[in-house]
Chain A
Amino acid sequence: MSVSRRVLLQTAAVAGMARGAFAADSIKIGIPVALTGPLGGIGAQMRRACEFWAKQVNAKGGLLGRPIELIVEDTAANPATTVRKVQEMVERSGVRLITCIVASNEALAVVPKLAEWDTIFVSGDNGDGRLTGESLVPNFFRPNVSGPMGTRAVTLWLRDSPMKKFYGIGMDYAWGHNSMDVFESEAKRAGKEFLGAVFSPTGTKDFSTYITKIRQSGADGCYLVLAGDDNVAFLTQAKQYRLGEKVQLLTEQVDEMGINASGDASVGLIGGSRYPAALDNPDNKAFVAAWQAEYGRLPQMFEGDQYQSCVVMQAGIEKAGSIEAAKLRPALEGLVVTSVKGPITMRACDHQAEQPGFVVKVVKKDGMEHPVPEVIATYKADRVTPPCNQMVYTD
């Protein structure tokens, strides 16, 4: 049975609607997500959030009175496959709305074709600054936190910290360099000293020589722009070299998968979080409670962010009364949506959602199998969101 039909039946069972009624009447949302390959873990989280949201909405009668149908396809985070799968969704299944793409380079490959497909893409986790900067297209919307916003939250926190000198290590590709650039300029404007940075190739397994380099630099803190297996390997090995005792490790985003995989090695790590589950507001409390009931655990970072994006999509569709790009686009621009992170505004100028930034610290808690991220600072939207179409800040 195809994956999409499976989801369809689940939502049908919940909504108690007849199977035949769907095909013509449903609202189809394309989910071209990486389910296999190294990013499969993130993809699984994002898809889960979409399914959870769709189930909730369908249980209350659907969207605009129509059931939501998720068309899920595996892209394995290969941009060529992503483009092909979305093309198929558009041409074969009549999809006009997509979300839940995992990697920024997949997003960057898809974005130039949105106009040709007359399709709106609402990002769930794509953080590359250029998506709302030089690569912005009218059909792209980003309700989630961008990479520069994460870095900004961390550097704002550093302004009040006694640490003076910073070194950096990042993965040697677009995200690594961009994030490091933002950190460098922000740290310097905070009056700190930036000693330099080193970039490791994707897939580096042995970080011993990088750890030695960081030690040599004499820095108080080290900014990490690492993800996935590289991130886990670095944290694990850094712990073995007792690096954390000498140098405070900082990072752009702290996500639970990395913590779970590196265990105690990530204790003491400080960084940005796109969605901390412990946020205290009514929407989040309801979300977390429902999530716990469904999955028996707290929602993780990518799940929360993707869920917020789904809620934004929903608000836009309800306001527009349609999923057609021509109507949905203006409906989303300027829209204020209240969800798990409180009220956020979908800016018209660059389609980025203005929202608060959070800094967390990884701590060990009794009774929890893995360490958890604890919020240590919150910054308001206007401090963390960059000016329109920009990736740099001015204050």
Chain B
Amino acid sequence: MDLLSFLLVQCLNALSQAALLFFLGVGLTLIFGIMRIVNFAHGTFYMLGAFLGYSAVRVTGSFWAGLVLGPLVAGGIGAAFEMGLLRRLYKRDDSAFLMVTFGLTLVLGEIIRLVWGVDALQVQVPDSLSGIVFLLDEPFPVYRLFLVAAGAIVAVGIWQFLERTRLGLLIRATSQNAEMVHALGVDVNLVRSGIFGIGCGLAALGGVLAAPLLSASLGMAGNAIIDAFVIVIIGGMGSFPGSLLAAILVAFVQVFGTYYFPDFAMAAMYLLMLLVLVVRPGGLLGKEA
């Protein structure tokens, strides 16, 4: 492989990895940014998405059905959880959220195990995306290009949603001053449930998209949550552009770093996190000092 094709392949490797990391992180940062809740169960919703994707493919034969079904179901569960339990905790301090979402991680994780069993389940890449393209004579999977495109579309979509739509405006306003929004006659509770649901749905979307690459397995949640935390911390808790930037940064560091210094692969992400936090304690684009 010559240098040019190597660089091209590695860059695309990094971008596809960034897309997956972005999906993982964006939901968490939205929930934190708007509601100051650290959702410990985020990785479990990601895992739920993967398993739902598996079932959707099994039942309907269509991966695209899974892409829709997974986030909807996960989002619904998340919103219901917020309405039922989290809502009562807003008056209390943050540690309550930590515990409740940790409890949810255990409960949901076990339910997933009971429903789908202990074995890892394969999710097929849809036929339309299972081919390869030749980039300067090197094969590259089409599915990964799809991931990059999907990541870009969702990123732009969320950005536009937050900036341009009325609901997006409400969301941003609620994060700044909930009482004022309430005084304006908006049902703040509904907005909050919606946000939590959307955050969980985005995690599940990440899970569905990752499943053809990794298979749906019970170990996914643990890995996912720590990755999600790192992305959100590096990008800045509550910053949507931060999570995008962090995802790209971490992915490139991992892909190129692992290639040249494989021994540090494990520590690389945490060293990066440490470095960023020391220089900018709030994360790259965070608002906290």
- A and B, direct touch (CB closer than 8 Å): yes
Q: A residues near B, CB below 8 A?
A: 35-38, 40-41, 44, 172, 198-201, 203-206, 208-210, 212-213, 215-216, 228-229, 232-233, 236-237, 240-242, 257, 260-263
Given A205-B20, A208-B13, A240-B125, list of 18 further CB < 8 A pairs?
A36-B118, A40-B218, A41-B119, A44-B118, A172-B266, A200-B258, A201-B266, A206-B13, A208-B17, A212-B10, A229-B214, A229-B215, A229-B217, A237-B213, A240-B144, A241-B140, A261-B119, A261-B215
Q: How distant is the Cα of A361 from the Cα of B212 in the complex, in angstroms?
A: 24
A212 touches B219 (CB 8 A): no
Within B67-98, the residues touching A (CB, 8 Å) are none
A36 touches B13 (CB 8 A): no
Query: B277: shortest Cβ distance to chain A, in Å?
Result: 21
A-B contact pairs, 19 of them (CB 8 A): A37-B218, A41-B118, A41-B120, A44-B118, A201-B265, A205-B213, A208-B255, A209-B10, A209-B255, A212-B10, A228-B120, A232-B215, A236-B122, A241-B141, A260-B119, A261-B122, A262-B122, A263-B122, A263-B124
Q: Which residues of B contact A241 (CB under 8 A)?
A: 132, 139-141
Q: How distant is the Cα of A208 from the Cα of B266 in the complex, in angstroms?
A: 16
Q: Which residues of A contact B255 (CB under 8 A)?
A: 208-209
Interface string of B239-256 (1 = CB under 8 A from A): 000000000000000111
B120 touches A240 (CB 8 A): no
Q: Which residues of A contact B20 (CB under 8 A)?
A: 205-206
Q: How distant is the Cα of A203 from the Cα of B227 in the complex, in angstroms?
A: 11
Which residue of chain A has the shortest Cβ distance to B21 in the bound complex?
Answer: A206
Query: A362: shortest Cβ distance to chain B, in Å?
Result: 14
Please report the number of residue pairs spanning A and B whose Cβ atoms sit closer than 8 angstroms. Answer: 114
A205 touches B10 (CB 8 A): no
Within B50-66, the residues touching A (CB, 8 Å) are none
A213 touches B259 (CB 8 A): yes
Which residue of chain A has the shortest Cβ distance to B124 in the bound complex?
Answer: A263
Most chain B Cβ neighbours within 10 Å, of A38, A44, A198, A208:
A208
Q: How distant is the Cα of A207 from the Cα of B16 in the complex, in angstroms?
A: 11
Q: How distant is the Cα of A35 from the Cα of B9 in the complex, in angstroms?
A: 40
Interface string of B110-143 (1 = CB under 8 A from A): 0001000011111011000010100000111101
Query: A175: shortest Cβ distance to chain B, in Å?
Result: 16
Q: How distant is the Cα of A262 from the Cα of B121 in the complex, in angstroms?
A: 8
B217 touches A200 (CB 8 A): no
Q: How distant is the Cα of A242 from the Cα of B263 in the complex, in angstroms?
A: 26
Q: Which residues of A contact B138 (CB under 8 A)?
A: 215
B13 touches A198 (CB 8 A): no
Q: Which residues of A contact B214 (CB under 8 A)?
A: 205, 229, 232-233, 236
Q: Which residues of A contact B157 (CB under 8 A)?
A: none
Q: How distant is the Cα of A172 from the Cα of B267 in the complex, in angstroms?
A: 12
A228 touches B219 (CB 8 A): yes
Q: How distant is the Cα of A200 from the Cα of B261 in the complex, in angstroms?
A: 11
Q: Which residues of B contact A204 (CB under 8 A)?
A: 265
A216 touches B6 (CB 8 A): yes
Within B1-16, the residues touching A (CB, 8 Å) are 1, 6, 9-10, 13, 16
